[in-house]
């Protein structure tokens, strides 16, 4: 298939791996003293394990798996609120499929559905809008979840609902943004991060400018990358070249898809419908200032938190992670998934204990599915 096969070419991959190895040797990177490169996006984590890049690459390059899987960073308190919304008799709760099995304190959405809650999987918020049109006597709630990649479609559906005057459609907004948690990780003195592979899909929307602080404030290179194996290998090579040259810049390996300034239509829709929350809780990272979005007052009629009295306006919840769960440490790259005592025993894709085992973009699920990596020791 054109535009796919050429990015999976084995000979080209081998040539890139050889160039990475030569460069790693040139800068003195070894298994004992590796270069730590964080792939921010869960899609990249999945691709690294799917294609075995962690095993093929020079041992002086260590991948650190970042917090870029929206299902994985969703705190349990928000899952609990989803379940509470879904169990209301008047509600049809709509969600993408990957959120169905995320464990809450009491149950997951799929368990709530098995017990009778009206929960429906959809492929787009527009599907939820159509349900609202067809069921005027019910309240249709869409579970808005994800980074800047999915935020525009939710914003556009809210604008469409407003145009149509729908009164039974709301969004439970859990949209989050990529740059704030990266700043938190860079400010953490315990983290060792030498460079970043930047998220391709998010960058289609926001462009490359929002990452400039990584290079300018922290002196770290970042290369926005595509999702095929050659994309990732070329991006790692570009990061290593910056390190060798003593440069710290924002580079765009995925220029065939990512425009420098993003998608202005999507950016405008986000700005029209959402504003930053003062803070938002991330699983494993805690509360992070201005890292989450909420629906602006002018669209308050479509905000499930306002309509049903849940969420941040309803006060804090003290929700504890399952005992021994190491999701937070994996999420911040402190340990590999295999370092969690539950990995593969109490926590599997069939019976996940933590969110990182639920989504295919979660580091634990990727390790489990593709046989783990070469190291189980702490990465930092
Ligand atoms: S194995 Fe399960 S409990 Fe342990 S870190 Fe991974 S998802 Fe969390």
Q: Verify whether ligand 1 is closer than 6 Å to residue 330 (CB atom).
A: yes
Short-list 37, 86, 3, CA closest to 242: 37
Q: Verify whether ligand 1 is closer than 6 Å to residue 354 (CB atom).
A: yes
Tell me how far the alpha carbon of residue 340 lies from the centroid of ligand 1, in angstroms: 6
Q: Verify whether ligand 1 is closer than 6 Å to residue 340 (CB atom).
A: yes
Q: Residue 320 has what DSSP assignment?
A: P
* pLDDT grade for 379, boundaries at 50, 70 and 90: very low
pLDDT, residue 373, reads 44
Number of domains in the chain: 1
Q: Verify whether ligand 1 is closer than 6 Å to residue 69 (CB atom).
A: no
Tell me how far the alpha carbon of residue 298 lies from the centroid of ligand 1, in angstroms: 40
Q: Verify whether ligand 1 is closer than 6 Å to residue 102 (CB atom).
A: no
Q: Return the minimum-mean-pLDDT range out of 47-51, 151-155, 222-226, 330-334.
A: 330-334
pLDDT tens profile 251-303: 999 999 999 999 999 999 999 999 999 999 998 888 999 999 999 999 999 99
Evaluate whether residue 278 is within a structural domain.
yes
Which residue spans within 111-249 are E strands per DSSP? 119-121, 139-146, 169-175, 195-198, 222-224
Helix H or strand E encompassing 81: helix 76-86
Domain that holds residue 117: 72-177+261-314
Tell me how far the alpha carbon of residue 361 lies from the centroid of ligand 1, in angstroms: 13
Evaluate whether residue 226 is within a structural domain.
no
| DSSP of 341-371 | TTBTTTB-SSS-SSGGGTSTTSHHHHHHHHT
Q: Verify whether ligand 1 is closer than 6 Å to residue 220 (CB atom).
A: no
- How many other C-beta atoms are found inside a 10 Å radius of the C-beta of residue 186? 17
CA–CA separation, 239 and 371 (whole Å): 27
Q: What is the CATH number of the domain that holds 159?
A: 3.40.50.11740
Question: Is the pLDDT at 184 greater than 90, yes or no?
Answer: yes
Mean pLDDT (whole number) for 68-79: 89
pLDDT tens profile 74-128: 988 999 999 999 999 999 999 999 899 888 989 999 999 999 999 999 999 999 9
CA–CA separation, 272 and 215 (whole Å): 29
Evaluate whether residue 237 is within a structural domain.
no
Evaluate whether residue 49 is within a structural domain.
no
Question: Is the pLDDT at 377 greater than 50, yes or no?
Answer: no
CA–CA separation, 37 and 29 (whole Å): 12
Mean pLDDT of the chain: 92
Evaluate whether residue 127 is within a structural domain.
yes
Evaluate whether residue 185 is within a structural domain.
no
The pTM of the full predicted model, rounded to 2 decimals, is: 0.90
Evaluate whether residue 130 is within a structural domain.
yes
Evaluate whether residue 365 is within a structural domain.
no
pLDDT tens profile 17-55: 999 999 999 999 999 999 999 999 999 999 999 999 999
């Amino acid at each position: 298939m054109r535009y796919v096969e050429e990015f999976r070419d084995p000979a080209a991959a081998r040539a890139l791996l050889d160039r990475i190895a030569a460069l790693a040797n040139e800068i003195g990177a070894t298994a004992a003293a590796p270069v730590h490169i964080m792939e921010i996006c869960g899609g990249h984590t999945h691709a690294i394990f799917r294609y075995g890049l962690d095993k093929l690459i020079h041992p002086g390059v260590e991948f650190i798996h970042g917090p870029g899987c929206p299902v994985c960073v969703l705190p349990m308190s928000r899952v609990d609120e989803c379940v509470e919304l879904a169990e209301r008799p008047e509600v049809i709760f709509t969600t993408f499929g990957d959120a169905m099995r995320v464990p809450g304190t009491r149950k997951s959405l799929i368990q709530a559905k098995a017990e009778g809650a009206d929960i429906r999987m959809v492929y787009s918020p527009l599907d939820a809008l159509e349900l609202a049109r067809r069921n005027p006597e019910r309240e249709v709630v869409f579970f808005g979840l994800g980074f800047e990649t999915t935020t525009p479609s939710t914003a556009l559906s809210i604008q469409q609902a407003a145009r149509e005057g729908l009164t039974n459609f709301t969004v439970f907004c859990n949209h989050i943004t990529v740059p704030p948690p990266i700043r938190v990780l860079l400010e953490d003195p315990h983290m060792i991060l030498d460079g970043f592979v930047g998220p391709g899909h998010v960058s289609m929307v926001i462009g490359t400018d929002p990452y400039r602080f990584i290079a300018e404030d922290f002196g770290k290179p970042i290369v926005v990358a595509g999702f095929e194996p050659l994309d990732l290998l070329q991006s790692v090579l570009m990061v290593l070249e910056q390190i060798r040259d003593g440069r710290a810049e924002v580079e765009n390996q995925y220029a065939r898809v990512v425009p420098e300034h993003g998608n202005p239509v999507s950016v405008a829709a986000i700005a029209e419908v959402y504003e930053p929350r003062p803070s938002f809780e991330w699983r494993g990272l805690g509360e992070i200032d201005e890292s989450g979005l909420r629906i602006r007052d002018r669209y308050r009629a479509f905000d499930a938190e306002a309509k049903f009295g849940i969420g941040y306006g309803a006060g804090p919840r003290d929700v504890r992670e399952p005992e021994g769960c190491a999701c937070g440490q994996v999420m911040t790259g402190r340990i590999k998934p295999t370092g969690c005592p539950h990995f593969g025993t109490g926590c599997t894709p069939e019976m996940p204990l933590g969110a990182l085992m639920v989504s295919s973009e979660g580091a634990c699920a990727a390790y489990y599915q593709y046989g783990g990596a070469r190291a189980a020791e702490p990465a930092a």
